[in-house]
Structure 1
Amino acid sequence: MQIEIDGLSFHVRLDGPETAPVLMLSNSLSSNLSMWDAQIEAFTRRWRVLRYDQRGHGGTEVSDRPVSFERLADDAIAILDALDIPKVHFCGVSMGGMTGMTLMTRHPKRIERAVLANTAARMGPAELWNARIRATREGGMEAVVDATIARWFTEAFRARAPETVAAVREMILSTPAAGYAACCAAIRDMDQREAIRAIRHPVLVIIGAHDPATTPQAGEIVHAAIRGSRAVTLDAAHLSNIEAPDAFDEAVTAFLSEKP
């Protein structure tokens, strides 16, 4: 379905039992809600799964205005409001995890438990992001797709799952370059290292043992900053939900199913 938020049409999808508690999934940079396809069978056994494309990604329109994580968090809340959903569990990978951190500090009453996967509270240096913005403005997503795939998956996974990797490559190429660039700027300007110390939600931090983008060290910084959080390390690179889906699903399901 499409929902209008802040003058833009957002692509949103619901799966699973209508009466089940809601689990909201938030996508990474240069992806769309299909990145969660491997999780849907497992997650819909327990939850009503709400997926959406962050602004400028997938089937959600691109804005000509600057993007911040405050805006991305407000987008998520506007989706919940439009669907009359008061509170959700939340799971986000990479940029989705950064959105989740902001949700818990900006809209704490709307989140129950949260999973922050393969993410970081700050990602520098600025020039790295400026270079990616320049590259896509000059050459489109073709200019960054190969390097992105190399960061997202280990060499061993790329060798044993070429069809999966090819599908992800097409997903990256289908991302609007302007949407990618705007969210790159949001990541470049983000620093949540101090803000997340105020989070009091139950939080699971998922770390990819071989993640060169949001490194294990970056994940441990998030874990250390959020009081009472837990961390689990999976044998994967950046998109651990795709490279290690069974272990990812098990970790998320066990954590979100715990009784208060």
Structure 2
Amino acid sequence: MEALSHFTAGDGARIAYRFDGRKDAPVLVLSNSIATSLAMWDSVMPDLVEHFRVLRYDTRGHGASDAPAGAYSIDRLGRDVVELLDALELERVHFLGLSLGGMIGQWLGIRAPERIERLVLSNTSAYLGPAHYFDERIAQLAHIDDMRETAEGFIRNWFSQATIDARVPAVDAFRRMVLDTPPQGLAGAFAAVRDLDFRRTVALIDRPSLVIAGKDDTVTLPAHGEAIAAAIAGARYLSLPCVHLPNVESRQAFVDAVAAFLLERRVN
């Protein structure tokens, strides 16, 4: 396990990252959901480091990365990844992104395919409107002092009621991640999601792709995942019994599917 490090992106923002796993393994980059940090992957790390050198980073506006004021763009979030790979002298990597991370993954597949070996897009959308919903959320965040109500809204969208009622420790961990997210960082990321529309261009992705959806996801609907998989030539599609976080609610099936796809071995 290595310590948290930082690099400086082209616009001066400092982005936090860390490596886990042996240095001779293929590199897998993990990209987090909105309102979380790289800690969202903690539960699957023991499985992933058996096969990969895992590179996690905090999306700008989140975790230990800088949270510049103003609207972010999916182009800027994607270039953060490319610049991170450049700084670490990594030519090609596997990439797994969930939710906002999956939107960044789509950008990479469209705009920087030469940097991607295989692509996993989990619980994400090529377009997530309407714009006025995000404008309202951004306006609210400009005057917010207490993120508790915001955190509870995310928890309801991320987990089944049964998981919440069972007081699974992961729920508290994810609640804390939301509470620790700077409001202006969350607002900046909401702007990137608001302005994103890959419904036509996602078909340009030519990297081997696995699209994962949560059967009960009410944010990035299963239909959104199905549409992405249908648009990408040769893409595989997997629906798991969960809401928005299969890495928590369907952990074993999730890591088995990811490893099988990236390593090209079958899971019985």
Q: How would you bin the TM-score normalised by the shorter chain?
A: over 0.9
Residue 245 of structure 1, CA deviation: 1.0
1:107 to 108, 112, 115: 112
The question of whether the paired residues in 1 share the 8 Å contact of 2:144 and 2:183 is answered with no
1:253 aligns with 2:263: no
* Backbone CA RMSD of aligned residues: 1.1
Residue 65 of structure 1, CA deviation: 4.5
Within 5 A, what are the aligned runs for 1:3-18?
3-6=7-10, 7-18=12-23
1:193 aligns with 2:199: yes
The question of whether the paired residues in 2 share the 8 Å contact of 1:132 and 1:144 is answered with no
* Greater Cα offset, 126-135 or 106-115: 126-135
Looking at structure 2, the residues matched to 132 and 235 of structure 1 have their Cα atoms a distance apart, in angstroms, of 29
Looking at structure 1, the residues matched to 210 and 166 of structure 2 have their Cα atoms a distance apart, in angstroms, of 29
Looking at structure 2, the residues matched to 160 and 257 of structure 1 have their Cα atoms a distance apart, in angstroms, of 34
Residue number in structure 2 paired with 1:117: 122
Looking at structure 2, the residues matched to 233 and 187 of structure 1 have their Cα atoms a distance apart, in angstroms, of 23
Looking at structure 1, the residues matched to 165 and 20 of structure 2 have their Cα atoms a distance apart, in angstroms, of 31
User: Per-residue CA shift, 1:190-236, capped at 9, x if unaligned?
Assistant: 10011111111110000000000001111111111111101111110
Looking at structure 2, the residues matched to 230 and 164 of structure 1 have their Cα atoms a distance apart, in angstroms, of 28
Residue 163 of structure 1, CA deviation: 2.0
Residue 135 of structure 1, CA deviation: 2.2
Within 5 A, what are the aligned runs for 1:31-70?
31-70=36-75
The TM-score normalised by the length of structure 1 is: 0.97
Within 5 A, what are the aligned runs for 1:1-260?
1-6=5-10, 7-140=12-145, 141-258=147-264
The TM-score normalised by the length of structure 2 is: 0.94
The question of whether the paired residues in 2 share the 8 Å contact of 1:73 and 1:103 is answered with yes
Letter in 2 for 1:201: R
User: Per-residue CA shift, 1:166-200, capped at 9, x if unaligned?
Assistant: 11101111001101001101100110011111111
The question of whether the paired residues in 1 share the 8 Å contact of 2:71 and 2:187 is answered with no
Letter in 2 for 1:192: F
The question of whether the paired residues in 2 share the 8 Å contact of 1:92 and 1:115 is answered with yes
Listed as ranges, the gaps of 5+ residues in structure 2 are: none
Looking at structure 2, the residues matched to 22 and 161 of structure 1 have their Cα atoms a distance apart, in angstroms, of 34
The question of whether the paired residues in 1 share the 8 Å contact of 2:213 and 2:222 is answered with yes
Looking at structure 1, the residues matched to 142 and 92 of structure 2 have their Cα atoms a distance apart, in angstroms, of 38
Looking at structure 2, the residues matched to 66 and 168 of structure 1 have their Cα atoms a distance apart, in angstroms, of 24
The question of whether the paired residues in 2 share the 8 Å contact of 1:135 and 1:143 is answered with no
Residue 160 of structure 1, CA deviation: 2.4
The question of whether the paired residues in 1 share the 8 Å contact of 2:103 and 2:125 is answered with yes
Letter in 2 for 1:10: I
Q: What's the % identity of the aligned pairs?
A: 42
